């Protein structure tokens, strides 16, 4: 689920914390809490009106654990077009009532029912169609697309007023050689409404045929009154259709587009070929359920561009699975077999996706660098059940560990993941955000094993979060990911995964913020660990930073066995800056036991530092200042000595 589709469960106090977490878990949501009164949440906010307005503007579904009237008053100034407004719901603080306020036919009613089911509560659905007929005609279930939602209001009004409906189910027939003859319909074959035939028109399903219309089962299971001469027409078809004024056209997701292509094929070419396969054969693009190909193309931009163009997922099969479809191929190729191990990619992938009950309805067509074919099955295609997805790896930095220092993007990535990989402490710091995920815990160290596991899991088609503290790219796991891509050590499938790296608040930023502004001028970071870097290189860098008068953040300053490096660095830096230079020691930042203090460089004691401490040494210009409340801060001026003073004098003049 993308961040914009993830429901935001909004609570205003710790009293609603347990309820909010139960709701978030039930609907795959993200918990948002008022910073002043909520101790822990996936995302904290300061101003409830501004936060709700921002979520509403983003199109995020909102579930607010607060009074309905309050939610209405807060969002009233932002209401405009009901067709594009996201679902907004109110849940009573006792969890007894769930009220869809906005977007009832855009997901709010279904969310209300899901929440009510999880809480054993009452879903106060009030939309007329839902109450009378049990379904919302402008919100079809997964696997269907309403082609003309603008007609829904008029159709529903007629039905509510007492009109009856007739049901039309049609599909193209297969022509010679497997190609679909454009514009031809299906005969009224009662045993299978999608059987190829020569009938020229749609089949108007007589009343009582519920068991023989799998594509229309959700309509027939409703309380809508059907009659052969109904005034309203409800059409289910995988062909484009111009609807009448009292007609709703639903396209079922019954088609799969198979694509094969050369490496680095043109994305425009692949999309154009796919469009040709659909339009020349009279198929509705809305009926596409997925784009399918062979697994060696899992990282092929052209395949993913075609999937994105049609708004459907891309799914992949191994060569052995595609070769099993060889008897059903219309255009088997020995050349393709010699290249990838199966006799057809486009046709084979389409057929593998629809299974034995499906058929090839558009045989392979070619362009310079791509091939395309389409298969259909007489049932809704669930893309999650065919082949596998291209694996995705999120490399995330969770900051020092506190909820308020974790970015919304990172929280959304963790929420969207099926698997979490990381040092056990870091996974524990995610708290409830880790619930329902497969955890792959590692001890401190074993960094490469950690990253290999994450990449291999993604290579299996999973969505994986590789969890790091601080920022994932600063002395953390992001570097190892790309090193493995570069140098090897992972499977071919792991080489083809998608990677996204999300930033986090680093330890040096957190330490600086807690003590003032020591990073106000040039600074650097140096790791004192010699596990991967020769000690003589570390010495050279400390010396150079001392000579350059940089503020220095020391990572990995000590360990159980390594106690001398920080002492050496202290003595070396005393050659370049005063013994009074402020040094910040920050331990357990953002976590219980946080301790931030300042000592002079000359008095820095290695025994005061442990593995959970970051050490920030000021430059020769860094200073301390004490404010009226008695707190001492550290800052580094933006300019040096006389130059800074001159600039300030000019500004004052």
Q: For 17-21, 252-256, 454-458, 531-535, which range has the lowest pLDDT when averaged over its residues?
A: 531-535
Average pLDDT (179-185) is: 38
Average pLDDT (386-392) is: 94
Strongest mean pLDDT among 95-109, 254-268, 582-596:
254-268
Report yes or no: 217 and 143 within 8 Å, Cβ to Cβ: no
Percent of the chain with pLDDT over 70: 89
Q: For 7-21, 23-37, 201-215, 620-634, which range has the lowest pLDDT when averaged over its residues?
A: 201-215
- Look over the chain and give the mean of its residue pLDDT values, rounded to a whole number: 86
**Whose CA is closest to 78, among 97, 91, 60?**
60
**Whose CA is closest to 287, among 217, 248, 238, 250?**
238
Helix axes 267-279, 301-310, angle to 10 degrees: 50
Q: 100 Cβ partners below 8 Å, 6+ apart? A: 87, 88, 89, 108, 109, 111, 112, 123, 124, 125, 126, 127
**R_g of the chain computed on alpha carbons:** 31
pLDDT tens across 74-99, in order?
998 888 766 678 899 999 999 999 99
pLDDT at 190: 27
Question: What 8-state DSSP symbol labels residue 388?
Answer: B
pLDDT at 651: 41
The CA distance from 235 to 145, in Å, is 11
Name the pairing type of β-strands 122-123 and 144-146.
unpaired
Average pLDDT (604-625) is: 92
Average pLDDT (385-412) is: 89
Identify which has the larger pLDDT, 404 or 467.
Answer: 467
Please, which pLDDT band fits residue 433 given cuts at 50, 70 and 90? confident
| Residues 595, 596, 597: CA angle, nearest 5 degrees | 120
Identify which has the larger pLDDT, 59 or 359.
Answer: 359
Q: 353 Cβ partners below 8 Å, 6+ apart? A: 256, 258, 290, 292, 315, 317, 375, 381, 386, 387
pLDDT at 82: 67
pLDDT at 588: 85
Q: 131 pLDDT exceeds 70?
A: no
Q: 195 pLDDT exceeds 90?
A: no
Percent of the chain with pLDDT over 90: 62
Domains, the chain: 3-126 (3.40.50.11220), 144-252 (no CATH), 255-385 (3.30.420.180), 392-505 (3.40.1010.10), 508-635 (3.30.950.10)
pLDDT tens across 435-448, in order?
889 999 998 878 89
Collapsing DSSP to helix, strand or coil, 614 comes out as strand
Q: 125 pLDDT exceeds 50?
A: yes
Q: 32 pLDDT exceeds 80?
A: yes
pLDDT at 324: 97
pLDDT at 467: 96
**Whose CA is closest to 312, among 283, 335, 292, 293?**
292
pLDDT tens across 101-115, in order?
887 656 788 888 899
pLDDT at 65: 95
3-state secondary structure 136-187: CCCCCCCCEEECCHHHHHHHHHHHHCCCCEEEEEECCCECHHHCECCCCCCC
The CA distance from 300 to 340, in Å, is 15
**Whose CA is closest to 374, among 351, 398, 400?**
351
pTM: 0.77
The CA distance from 1 to 326, in Å, is 35
pLDDT tens across 268-324, in order?
999 999 999 999 889 999 999 999 999 999 999 999 999 999 999 999 999 999 999
């Amino acid at each position: 689920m993308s961040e914009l589709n993830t429901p935001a469960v909004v609570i205003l106090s710790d009293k609603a914390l347990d309820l909010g977490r139960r709701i978030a878990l039930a609907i795959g949501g993200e918990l948002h809490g008022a910073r002043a009164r909520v101790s822990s949440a996936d995302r904290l906010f300061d101003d409830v009106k501004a936060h709700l307005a921002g979520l509403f503007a983003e199109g995020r579904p909102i579930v607010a654990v607060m009074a309905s009237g309050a939610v209405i008053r807060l969002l009233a100034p932002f209401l405009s077009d009901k067709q594009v407004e996201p679902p907004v719901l109110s849940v009573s603080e006792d969890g007894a009532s769930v009220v869809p306020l906005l977007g009832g036919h855009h997901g709010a009613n279904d969310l209300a029912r899901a929440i009510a089911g999880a809480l054993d509560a009452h879903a106060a659905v009030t939309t007329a169609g839902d109450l009378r007929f049990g379904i919302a005609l402008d919100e079809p279930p997964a696997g269907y697309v309403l082609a003309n939602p603008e007609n829904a209001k008029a159709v529903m009004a007629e039905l509510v007023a007492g009109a009856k409906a007739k049901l039309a189910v049609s599909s193209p027939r297969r022509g010679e050689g497997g190609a679909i003859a454009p514009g031809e319909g299906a005969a009224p074959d009662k045993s299978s409404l999608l059987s190829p035939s020569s009938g020229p028109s749609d089949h108007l399903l007589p009343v009582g045929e519920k068991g023989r219309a799998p594509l229309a089962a959700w309509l027939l299971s409703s309380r809508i009154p059907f009659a052969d001469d109904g005034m309203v027409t409800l059409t289910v078809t995988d062909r484009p259709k111009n609807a009448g004024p009292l007609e709703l056209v639903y396209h079922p997701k019954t088609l799969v587009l198979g694509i094969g292509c050369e490496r680095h094929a043109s994305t425009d070419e692949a999309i154009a070929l796919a469009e040709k396969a659909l339009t020349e054969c009279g198929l509705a693009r809305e009926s596409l359920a997925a784009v399918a190909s062979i697994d060696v193309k899992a990282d092929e931009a052209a395949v993913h561009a075609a999937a994105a163009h049609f708004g459907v997922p891309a799914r992949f099969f191994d060569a052995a699975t595609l070769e099993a479809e060889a008897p059903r191929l219309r255009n088997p190729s020995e050349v393709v077999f010699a290249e990838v191990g199966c006799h057809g990619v486009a046709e084979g992938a389409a057929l593998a996706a629809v299974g034995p009950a499906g058929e090839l309805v558009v045989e392979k067509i070619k362009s310079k660098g791509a091939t395309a074919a389409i298969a259909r099955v007489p049932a809704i295609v669930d893309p999650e059940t065919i082949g596998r997805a291209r694996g995705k790896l999120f490399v995330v930095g969770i900051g020092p560990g506190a909820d308020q220092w974790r970015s919304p993007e990172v929280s959304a990535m963790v929420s969207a993941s099926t698997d979490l990989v990381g040092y056990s402490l870091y996974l524990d710091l995610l708290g409830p955000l880790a619930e329902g995920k497969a955890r792959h815990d590692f001890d401190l160290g074993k960094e490469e094993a950690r990253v290999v596991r994450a990449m291999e899991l993604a290579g299996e088609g999973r969505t994986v979060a590789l969890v790091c503290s601080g920022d994932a790219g600063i002395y953390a796991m992001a570097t190892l990911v790309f090193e493995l891509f570069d140098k090897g050590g992972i499977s071919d499938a792991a080489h083809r995964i998608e990677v996204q790296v999300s930033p986090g608040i680093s330890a040096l930023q957190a330490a600086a913020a807690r003590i003032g502004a020591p990073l106000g001028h040039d600074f650097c970071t140096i790791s004192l660990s010699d596990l991967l870097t020769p000690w003589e290189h570390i010495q050279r860098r400390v010396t150079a930073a001392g000579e350059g008068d940089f503020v220095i953040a020391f990572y990995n300053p000590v360990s159980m066995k390594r106690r001398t490096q920080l002492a050496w660095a202290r003595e070396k830096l005393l050659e370049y800056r005063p013994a009074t230079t402020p040094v910040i020691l920050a331990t357990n930042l953002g976590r219980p036991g946080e301790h931030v203090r300042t000592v002079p460089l000359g008095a820095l004691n290695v025994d005061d530092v442990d593995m959970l401490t970051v050490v920030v040494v000021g430059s020769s210009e860094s200073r301390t200042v004490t404010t009226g409340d008695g707190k001492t801060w550290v800052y580094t001026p933006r300019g040096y000595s006389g130059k800074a003073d001159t600039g300030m004098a000019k500004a004052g003049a």
